[in-house]
Amino acid sequence: MRATATGWSDALTAAALLAIDPVGLGGICIRSGAGPLRDHWLETLRGLLPEQTPLRKCPPAISDGRLLGGIDLAATLSVGRPVIERGLLAEVNGGILVAVMAERLAASTVAHLNSALDMREIVIERDGLSQRIPSLFAVVALDEGIGDERAAPSICDRIALRVDLTDLSRQDMIGSTFCADQIAAARGRVGKAKLPAHALKALCSTAASLGVASLRAPLFAIRVARAAAALDDDDRVRDAHLELAARLVLAPRATAIPEASSAEAEPAKNREPEGAEQHVPEDAQLDDLVLAAALAAIPPDLLKRLRVGDQDKLRSASVGKQGMSRVSKQRGRPIGVRRGELRSGARLNVLETLRSAAPWQSLRRRTQSQLVGADRAPRLVIHRDDFRVTRFRERSATSTIFVVDASGSSALRRLAEVKGAVELLLADCYVRRDEVALIAFRGKAAELILPPTRSLTRAKRSLAALPGGGGTPLSAAIVSATSLALAVRSKGHCPTIVLMTDGRANVCRDGHSGRTEAESEARDAARQLRVSTIPAVVVDTSPRPQQQAAGIAAEMNARYVVLPYADAAKLSRAIRAHMQA
């Protein structure tokens, strides 16, 4: 929901509704950074809940053992028998779970939360344990994501309410008009309000018009409407309650803006005179009312933001300033623990290893006592099957390979500008600690001027000494760049090729001249680069856009940048924008 003048009022109302029926609504997603605004909202919610209601915080890096429960390692090693530890989901039974930085929750944590919300119990099948523990709770997902970084959609689908506070400030805060006694009284009436027969139809038609595919959304909207009726001490769900449900539940889930109805699109000549009575069915009136309430809460640039978000997701696996995400054995963000052996640099997780061995210590010590004697038996017996290693996820390093056309056609026109642009891009790569390489092609061959390095001084020196003139062996340059990029990728890095040329190939790979054959070889080399799936950017450095450069970019499936008569700064900014897109 967009934070408008009523944004804070709706946020307070959402807190009251959640306090009335926390388990039925599933929770709320708060889109806001850390600050006094969000803290005040959390304090308001806490004040509306019964005093004995448990409220626990769930950090993003919580382990499965702490979340679900399992073996209490210290107690088990102390008494010599398995001691069960209650998990966070068991402790929060009947209360509120606050998921801090919900956008960074691990996939396993999200899966466990979804299972608990669906089944309303915890199923433990680990550490030699098999238990089912009731767990009824609501989730307050604190989404602190920046840009398109958001909480997991699977969790947001299982909680009814969503509120966005990012556009609000402390001046927008007003005191809550709800009190704990009022919420307690409404809690006893929730679910008893009568629902009109056409109310469900209105909510479902509104959800369909807004492109909401989840069937949970209209069901949550009904629960919100009934909770709102209970809050107003009303025995019937009114239109105002349905409008509130549409604002808080359906509008934030919208993926489309409905078109104007056919009645609105009718020509004026086919309409009734203004003075004539028009009978509109009550169902249609309610549908329009609920839809209008939802549309009023939708940001006007919703479709634009959705398109941008989809494009970002599609491009996230190609070119980026942070490289590709990959699983690592030694460094990065921990993503879990698995059984493994201490080989190939794997890091032992001591606590999980001890936790795995703890349930068997009594039996193992008895066996060891029979073999070597009670006085010589070790206090702790660990087998190979107990070893647990930590898995990490890290961003691979990015290597940018600049392929510069230093032939006569480019040297006479724009080689100086290209050198300036590359130097600015080199500085940008240095700030990100990326590796850079430089390939120049002129005469009859392409030459690796600078192998992949992080030395900015060395890169600038090699670039300044780059001569110009001669033919354009474009195919040799593309083949050399492809080979270097494959070698870089084999080392675990994420390569990117930036080709700066006018596309006028006139030298074949064997060194002899011939424009037709040279252009054919260049296209073949571009297709080979496309097969390798290495991301690339082609910059047309000619004074006017050339069909040759555009064709090469199309063959290698690269981004094509046209900048006639641009200076070095403009050229570098355009390339940087395409590389980070």
Nearest to 470 by CA among 441, 491, 448: 441
Q: How do residues 436-471 score in pLDDT, each as one tens digit? A: 788 888 888 888 888 887 776 776 777 776 676 778
Residue with tokens 């919100």: 224
Q: How do residues 356-414 score in pLDDT, each as one tens digit? A: 888 777 788 788 787 777 777 777 788 878 888 887 766 667 788 888 887 765 555 55
Q: Beta-carbon neighbour count of residue 418 at 10 Å?
A: 26
Nearest to 400 by CA among 535, 567, 574, 529: 535
How far apart CA 154 and CA 99 sit, in angstroms, is: 14
Phi then psi dihedrals of residue 133, to 5 deg: -120, 125
**pLDDT surpassing 90 at residue 281:** no
Which alpha helices (DSSP H) does 432-540 contain, by range? 456-464, 474-490, 515-531
The two tokens of residue 103 are 């956008």
Q: Give residue 140's pLDDT.
A: 92
Contact 447, 405 (CB under 8 A): no
- Which is it for the CA torsion 407, 413, 416, 422, positive or negative? negative
Residue type, 516: T
How far apart CA 5 and CA 177 sit, in angstroms, is: 17
Residue type, 71: I
Q: Beta-carbon neighbour count of residue 398 at 10 Å?
A: 23
> If phi over 0 gives left and psi between -120 and 50 gives alpha, with beta otherwise, what is residue 250?
alpha
Return the DSSP state at 247. I
Helices (H) and strands (E) in the chain, counts: 24, 19
Contact 478, 517 (CB under 8 A): no
How far apart CA 283 and CA 294 sit, in angstroms, is: 17
Residue type, 194: K
CATH of domain 190-257+285-306: 1.10.8.80
The two tokens of residue 111 are 């899966």
The two tokens of residue 364 are 């193992």
Percent pLDDT > 70 in the chain is 73
CATH 3.40.50.300 fits 1-71+82-173, yes or no: yes
Q: How do residues 230-245 score in pLDDT, each as one tens digit? A: 888 888 888 888 888 8
How far apart CA 125 and CA 133 sit, in angstroms, is: 12
Give the rounded distance of the alpha carbon of 268 from its chain centre: 48
Q: Give residue 320's pLDDT.
A: 40
Q: How do residues 476-505 score in pLDDT, each as one tens digit? A: 999 999 999 999 888 878 888 888 888 888
Determine whether 362 is exposed, middle or buried from the number of CB atoms within 10 Å of its CB (0-12, 13-18, 19+).
middle
Residue type, 85: E
The two tokens of residue 292 are 């209008």
How far apart CA 53 and CA 180 sit, in angstroms, is: 13
The reply to whether 1-71+82-173 and 398-580 are identical in fold is yes
Give the residue, 533 or 299, on which the prediction is more confident. Answer: 533
Contact 360, 370 (CB under 8 A): no
The two tokens of residue 374 are 């009670």
Percent pLDDT > 90 in the chain is 7
Local structure of 404: helix, strand or coil: strand
Residue with tokens 């402390």: 170
Q: Give residue 410's pLDDT.
A: 57
Best CATH choice for the domain 398-580 from the list 3.40.50.410, 3.30.70.60, 3.40.50.2300, 3.30.200.20: 3.40.50.410
Extents of the domains making up the chain: 1-71+82-173, 190-257+285-306, 327-394, 398-580
Give the residue, 89 or 260, on which the prediction is more confident. Answer: 89
Phi then psi dihedrals of residue 259, to 5 deg: -75, 165
Residue type, 135: S
Question: What angle is formed at CA 128 by the lines to CA 126 and CA 133, rounded to 5 degrees?
Answer: 60
Give the rounded distance of the alpha carbon of 55 from its chain centre: 27
Q: Give residue 568's pLDDT.
A: 57
Q: Give residue 576's pLDDT.
A: 59
Question: What angle is formed at CA 429 by the lines to CA 427 and CA 431, rounded to 5 degrees?
Answer: 75
Local structure of 335: helix, strand or coil: strand
